[in-house]
Amino acid sequence: MCGIIGYVGHRSASKILTDGLKCLEYRGYDSVGIAVLNGQNLEIRKDKGMVADVSSGSRFDSLSGSIGIGHSRWATHGGVSKENSHPHSDCTGSIAIIHNGVIENYQELKSSLLSKGHKFASQTDSEVVSHLFEENLKQFPTPLIAFSKTISALEGSYAIVLLSKSSPDVLFLARKNSPLVVGKGAGENFCASDFSALLTYTREFLVLEDSQIATIDRDSIALYDLLLTPKTPSFLTIDWDVQTAERSGHPHFMIKEILEQPDVVSAAFSADVSQVLPLLEKFEKIHIIASGTSYHAGLLFSILLNKYKSGKFANVFIASEYQNQVLPDSNALIFAISQSGETADVLQALRYSTSPHKVCITNTQGSSITRLCSHSIYLNAGPESSVAATKTFLAQLCVIYKLLFGDRYRDSIRSTILASTKHSAKIQEFSKSIITNRFIFFLSRGLCLPLGFEGSLKLKEISYLHSQAYPAGELKHGTLSLIEKGVCALFLAPKTPDATKLFGNLKEVKARGGTIFTLTDDPSFKSESDMSLDIVPQTDPLLYPFSFVVPLQLLAYYSSVSLGINPDRPRNLAKSVTVE
């Protein structure tokens, strides 16, 4: 969702802000803007649209100055328009702010500011911040105190960066429930909503914690709590390199990230799970919390725990429903799975849980989820820029298998993934038939059930085709009424003991005129299919889920590309979903 970038130093701020906004594009946005301060000249340029168009149309490059802030907005309060784009200013044009999150008490603050004569230029919740700071500057002796008073008055979630003529060399930062990092340079400093925007400049980062304030100028970084008690900043080094964050000759990030998955297996299996294994041994009751693709990894985790680890009672929860479905339970071991570590639904579920034992499985060091958990397991998958999760999903599965079975299956999994990446051309061809259908069911059973859900989500997410996943045996309890000529069902059909039942489900669809597609290593499925891809290597039944990971990702990718959609940036979606 919204992206933040800030710079103070000796170089042209507008160039660094524009480049940073390009790096943040993957988060999803609908408008962009920057503010640059040059002495006492504060200029804001912004509009709805993409970074390339707005930055050239509004001549970002013509702004001179070496301190500034930039923002990409994903609309929540107020429509997609130039006025609602960030940065926002005050009544005098002396202040510029950018904000991610939601100011929940903005209406109350706005009414009070309106009664004092403030004029608002947008419908956003964010604009109250600049006017409140303007008001506080009149009352408090220093800009820093005025900033802390402003932040203390806010309820909700925020990552805020403020630039003011009153302190022309300083950026003011604050964070609560929305990520914000400071990047440390030499004679220059940076801030951003995530590391990836700053990897060209620095690897040394300070991750702001909730209810912290920071100021950065070109030579120093100061950290405070809300009462302005100084805190000692502790920096972490991020070892992601810029190249892994670039497309490296591929047409899209998504295909690059799909194809680098053989290496992801090795990296994910190197995850340190030693602190977590004793907990997994000890606890009977396990709650797994996640959203979207991560939920599908969690679903497989829960099936494996219940079926293959005796004495375990695992439940998987869609994060946004966790609070609605259980009472807080301090006797449960919690696993929270989130590649970004910033998914608001997951964070809220973790705050609700009273368990002292919370383990996160995440790809992002220093992310909010790590602060809410007693233990963190890192996926080591490197930066994932495409909105569609691919390699982080595989890495989640690898970490789950490592937790349950150690390194026993690592090499077989790697071989399966490597073999699957070689089937691109066949899947591209297959996708041409898939996209001619108006409705596609993904049907599967057993351990491959989560893969059916994931394949369907990936397809609809980036190709906008209507698709739905079902446990194949459930179809006859209602959904079978939708099957008729022209409706397509894609079966994930590994040669397992469950295959006979799945075969029966296939016959049910076929008898009603449905078009049958299969991904299978089983000849009987092949002969009953309208179209079949024999790209599923025979393997240990426990490992069949891995046989479908790459084919389903490639199927979604090529469907999207054939339909003329940019798979990296599906409409309406964001990489890091920081609102509930």
Of the two residues 22 and 460, which places its CB atom closer to ligand AGP in the complex? 460
Check residue 385 for interaction with ligand AGP (CB under 6 A).
Answer: no
Minimum gap (Å) between residue 458 Cβ and ligand AGP: 6
Residue with structure tokens 């390199």?
Answer: 241
Q: How far apart are CA 145 and CA 227, in angstroms?
A: 9
Instruction: Work out the number of other CB atoms within 10 angstroms of the CB of residue 243.
Output: 10
Q: Does 294 bind ligand AGP (CB under 6 A)?
A: yes
d(CA 566, CA 194) in angstroms, rounded, equals 23
Q: Which is nearer to ligand AGP, 3 or 292 (CB)?
A: 292
Residue 293: CB minimum distance to ligand AGP, A = 3
DSSP symbol at 244: G
Element holding 552 (H helix, E strand) = helix 544-562
Pairing of strands 440-444, 488-493: parallel
Touching ligand AGP, residues 325-364 (CB under 6 A): 338-340, 343, 346
Interaction of residue 100 with ligand AGP, rule CB under 6 A: no
Residue nearest ligand AGP, CB atom distance: 292
Q: Is 575 a catalytic residue?
A: yes
Q: Does the footprint of ligand AGP cover residue 403 (CB under 6 A)?
A: no
Q: Which residue of the set 22, 110, 184, 575 is catalytic? A: 575
Instruction: Tell me: does residue 293 bind ligand AGP (CB under 6 A).
Output: yes
Cα 418 to chain centroid, rounded: 25
Smallest gap from Cβ 396 to ligand AGP, in A, equals 8
- Each residue of 497-522: b (16+ CB within 10 Å) or e? ebbeebbebbebbbeeebbbbbbbbb
Residue range at the interface with ligand AGP (CB under 6 A); choices 151-159, 175-183, 383-391, 533-541: 383-391
Site string for ligand AGP, 437-466 (x = CB under 6 A): ------------------------x-----
Closest approach of Cβ 324 to ligand AGP, in Å?
18
Asked whether position 389 contacts ligand AGP by CB under 6 A, the answer is: yes
What is the spatial distance between Cα 70 and Cα 29, in angstroms, rounded to a whole number? 13
Which residue in the list 2, 191, 398, 488 is annotated as catalytic?
Answer: 2
- CA proximity to 22, closest of 8, 7, 5: 5
Q: Is 194 in the site for ligand AGP (CB under 6 A)?
A: no
Which residues does residue 439 pair with via DSSP β-bridges, in sequence order? none
Give least dist CB 306 to ligand AGP, A. Answer: 22
Q: Which of 206, 388, 506, 556 binds ligand AGP (CB under 6 A)?
A: 388
Cβ contacts of residue 352 below 8 Å, gap of 6+?
322, 323, 328
- CA separation for the pair 536, 538 (Å, rounded): 6
Q: How far apart are CA 56 and CA 18, in angstroms?
A: 10
Considering only CA atoms, which of 312, 313, 339, 338 is closest in space to residue 326?
A: 313
Stretch that binds ligand AGP, among 40-48, 289-297, 324-332, 506-514 (CB under 6 A): 289-297
Binding site for ligand AGP (CB under 6 A): 291-294, 338-340, 343, 346, 387-389, 461, 577
Q: What amino acid positions are annotated as catalytic residues?
A: 2, 575
